[in-house]
Amino acid sequence: MTRRVLLTGAVLALLSSVFAFRASSRMPDFEVYWRSGARAAAAEPLYRTEDEHYQLKYLPAFAVLAIPAAALPLPAAKALWFTASAVLLGAVLALSLGSLRVRHKPGWLLVTLTLLTMAKFYGHELVLGQVNLLFVVVILAALGLLLRTQEAASGAMVALAIIIKPYAIIFLPWLFARRAPVALAWAFVGLAAALALPAAIYGLSGTVSLHQEWWHTVTTSTAPNLLNADNVSLAAMYAKWLGPGPLATRLTLLTAAALLGAAVLVVVRRRGVESPDALEVALLLTLIPLLSPQGWDYVFLISTPAVMYLINHEAQLPPAIRAGTIAALLVIAFSLYDVLGREAYGTFMALSVISVCYLVVVAGLVTLRLRGLA
C-alpha cells in the first residue's frame, strides 16, 4: 500500500511539473474547445475565418458539450483537462491490454513497450490539450459494451465518439458487418440527437446553418494543410512526394480503397477466430489518421491497441513481416525532434516516413488475422 501511495504521489508530482513548465501556457487546441463552448453558451457563431488555423472543425454538438468547460476560467479548465487526459492515457493502456485475448508477454512489459513506442504522440496530445485520448477510451468502451451484449449502450458510445471526432463514422459499417443491429440503430439515434442538440440554443434554422458552416470549414481547410509537415494522411503523403494534383489524388484514392479492402478482408476472415472484434477495432483506429485528409501525426496515438497487439504477437509473425514491423515500431518510437535534430526531423516528416511505418503496422495486423492469431 505504501509503495502504491508513493508511486501515485510521484506520478502526480511529475504531471504537475509537466503542466507547470510545458502545458499550462500552451494547450492551443483545448483553447479552441473552451472558446467554442463559450460561444455556444451565448448562441454566437462557432465557425469564424478570423480564427485562422485554430478554427473549430468539430460538429456543433461538440461545442454544446463544451459549455461546462467554458464556465470555468481558462487556466482552471486547462489544469482540469490536463489531469483528465493523464487519467485517460492510463485508461487507454489498460483497456488496450484488456482487449488482448492471449498475452504472450507479461502485462507490465506490454504496457511499458507500448508507452515507450507511443510516448511522443502522448506528449504532443497533452501539450496541445487534444481529445484523442478521450476518443479512444470511448471507442474501447463501446467495444467492451458490445462484447457484453449491451448493444444499445455500445451504439450510444459510438455516437458520442462521432461527436468527439467525426471520423468515428467508420465504425458504423463495421457494426453493420458485425451484425449488431441494435448497436447500429442506437448509434443512428444518438447521432440524430447530436445533430439536433444545438437547436435548443440556436433554433432549427440556426442549427442547419451551423452544420453548413461546419461542412464548409472542414472542406475548405483540407487542401491548404496537405503539405503541412505534420500531416500524415495518405493524401498528404502523395502530395508531398508528387506535389498536389490529379496523380496524387488518384494514388490516394487507390491506396485508401486498398486499405478499406484490407479491413473488409479482416472482417470476412473473422470466422474461427476467438474474440475477433478487438483486432478489427484496432485496425479501424489505425486507419483513421491515414484516411482522414487532416490526419496529424499525434492522432496516431489512437493506434495504441494496434501497437500493443503487434508487440504481443511479434514472435508469431512471418520473418519478413516481423522484421518490418519491429523496424517500423522502432522508427515510430525514436523519430523524435530532440533525437534527429531540426533538419533531419524536417526531412523525415517531409518524406512521410511515419505514414509508411503505419502502412507496415496495418500489414502486420492483417497478417495476424490471416494466420488466425487474433
Cβ(125)–Cβ(133) below 8 Å: yes
Tell whether 187 and 82 lie within a shared domain.
Answer: yes
Tell whether 316 and 197 lie within a shared domain.
Answer: no
Total domains in the fold of the chain: 2
Tell whether 24 and 101 lie within a shared domain.
Answer: yes
Tell whether 208 and 235 lie within a shared domain.
Answer: no
Tell whether 132 and 257 lie within a shared domain.
Answer: no
Q: Enter the pTM of the model.
A: 0.91
pLDDT single digits (tens) 187-235? 999 999 999 999 999 999 999 999 999 999 988 877 778 888 889 999 9
Tell whether 89 and 178 lie within a shared domain.
Answer: yes
Cβ(58)–Cβ(30) below 8 Å: no
Tell whether 23 and 122 lie within a shared domain.
Answer: yes
Collect the ranges in the chain with pLDDT lower than 70: 1-25
Tell whether 31 and 171 lie within a shared domain.
Answer: yes
User: Domain for residue 173, yes or no?
Assistant: yes
Q: Where are the beta strands (DSSP E) in the chain?
A: none
CA 79/CA 29 separation, integer angstroms: 14
Other CB atoms within 10 A of residue 168 CB = 25
pLDDT single digits (tens) 226-266? 888 889 999 999 999 999 999 999 999 999 999 999 999 99
pLDDT of residue 209: 96
Residue 332: domain span: 222-374
pLDDT of residue 4: 47
- CA trace torsion 101, 104, 109, 113 (10° rounding): -80
CA 218/CA 197 separation, integer angstroms: 20
Could you tell me the CA-to-CA distances from 252 to 99, 170, 256, 291, 348 in Å, in that order? Answer: 31, 18, 6, 9, 20
User: Domain for residue 3, yes or no?
Assistant: no
User: Domain for residue 1, yes or no?
Assistant: no
Residue 296 sits at φ, ψ, to 5 deg, of -80, 155
Other CB atoms within 10 A of residue 263 CB = 22
What cell does 221 get? 481547410
CA 185/CA 182 separation, integer angstroms: 5
Provide the residue type at 354 as one letter.
I
pLDDT of residue 8: 43
User: Domain for residue 372, yes or no?
Assistant: yes
Positive or negative, the Cα torsion across 269, 132, 69, 65? negative
User: Domain for residue 9, yes or no?
Assistant: no
5 Rama sector, left if φ>0, alpha if ψ -120 to 50, beta otherwise: alpha
User: Domain for residue 6, yes or no?
Assistant: no
Other CB atoms within 10 A of residue 20 CB = 11
User: Domain for residue 23, yes or no?
Assistant: yes
Tell whether 243 and 355 lie within a shared domain.
Answer: yes
Of 163, 189, 221, which closes a domain?
A: 221
Tell whether 202 and 228 lie within a shared domain.
Answer: no
Cα 281-91-93 angle, rounded to 5 deg = 65
Tell whether 162 and 46 lie within a shared domain.
Answer: yes
Cβ(140)–Cβ(161) below 8 Å: no
pLDDT of residue 16: 52
Tell whether 136 and 244 lie within a shared domain.
Answer: no
pLDDT of residue 295: 82
Of 221, 246, 267, which closes a domain?
A: 221
User: Domain for residue 321, yes or no?
Assistant: yes
CA 270/CA 332 separation, integer angstroms: 29
Of 221, 246, 272, which closes a domain?
A: 221
